[in-house]
Amino acid sequence: MTFTIKILGAGSATPLKGRHHSAQLVSVNEHKYLIDCGEGTQYRLIEEKLNINKIEVIFISHLHGDHYYGLVGLISTMSLLGRKNQIQVFGPAGLNDIITLNFKISNTVLAFDLFIHELSGTDKQKIYEDNYAVFYSFPLNHGIQSFGYLAEEKPGLLKLVKNKISDLEVEEMVMLKNGKDVLDDQGNIKFAVKSYTLPPEPVRQYAYCSDTIYEESILPYIQEVDLLYHEATYLEEHKEKAIRNNHTTAIEAALIAKKANVKKLMIGHLSSRYEDYEAHLTEAKSVFFNTIPAIEGKSITL
């Protein structure tokens, strides 16, 4: 089963050429989930040759413009492109008012059902589940209601014990992989799940934390994830700006990654004052070596 993250935009609020406002496309077994939708996300999807109407669910972290100004346009375009399937949108309170007002004033009538879920809560909570993935939200600390998201793939099938595969017919393999004992004609166990299978691969997890000040209360929610995206708007020399603006430094993002014992850290949301990731990566790697930059157009496979 594939599990990839495509970076559509990883810049901060002030736009620069080549840096786009926040948006990431999470794919689990080819099912598409969008996290954040800054202005121009629909154009970024087109540039990356991604099918806008394959997106099944949208998660918005918070209602600062650089994380949601592309949402109403994206949903409008879905409708223009003939979408019939429902779409679900999760995000902070206020989302419903914004979408409803825009569509009312522009006389927009969608050809599909739009379900808007305004989140609340001060703890991790399961908010969405389908056959492929489960999504959880948890609170971030950014001076405005803000949520991080945890995407977790559904457990795979049991694995067959390799040297016993030759005993089995195809239908028997399917039953065992799905956790069902194979019975003989008399109803007795012919091949037992516990003897013929091993546990499935561990489920992979991706956590998205943007925007937030350095906030250790999120550590339990992101423990040991395979990949953590954490904003790192500032360098250590501008730490006072990070605190004042409820953002994080590269070193602080790395500290979160280290304390949560994650496998890999991806940093992004750099202030427009920095030309590239070089100094951020140097600082972050001094604390947590397995750090990569979020670069527009790149995909990361878990």
Give whole-number Cα distances, 258 to 32, 219, 252, in Å: 29, 10, 10
Work out the end-to-end distance of the chain between its first and last CA atoms, rounded to an integer number of angstroms: 10
Q: Site for a copy of itself (CB under 8 A): which residue of 2, 29, 51, 65?
A: 65
66 or 231, CB closer to a copy of itself? 66
Residues 86-125 that bind a copy of itself (CB under 8 A): 94, 97-98, 101-102, 105-108
What is the per-residue binding string for a copy of itself in 13-32, x denoting contact by CB under 8 A?
xxxxx--x------------
18 or 187, CB closer to a copy of itself? 18
Sign of the C-alpha dihedral computed for residues 140, 150, 266 and 59 taken in this order: negative
d(CA 250, CA 234): 6
**Is residue 113 annotated as a catalytic residue, yes or no?**
no
Q: Compute the radius of gyration of the chain from its Cα atoms.
A: 22
Q: Which of 36, 66, 211, 226 is catalytic?
A: 66
CA-based nearest residue to 271, from 229, 244, 231: 231
110 or 134, CB closer to a copy of itself? 110
297 touches a copy of itself (CB under 8 A): no
CA-based nearest residue to 44, from 74, 72, 80, 14: 74
Q: Is-contact 272 18, C-beta < 8 A?
A: no
46 touches a copy of itself (CB under 8 A): yes
CA-based nearest residue to 7, from 60, 54, 45, 56: 45
Helix (H, G, I), strand (E, B) or coil at 291: strand
Q: Site for a copy of itself (CB under 8 A): which residue of 69, 118, 157, 295?
A: 69
What is the per-residue binding string for a copy of itself in 156-195, x denoting contact by CB under 8 A?
----------------------------------------
Burial, 140: exposed, middle or buried (Cβ in 10 Å; 0-12, 13-18, 19+)? Answer: buried
What is the per-residue binding string for a copy of itself in 130-149, x denoting contact by CB under 8 A?
-------------xx-----
- Chain residues binding a copy of itself by CB under 8 A are 13-17, 20, 39-40, 42-43, 46-47, 63-66, 69-70, 72-73, 76-77, 80-81, 94, 97-98, 101-102, 105-108, 143-144
Residues assigned a catalytic role: 66
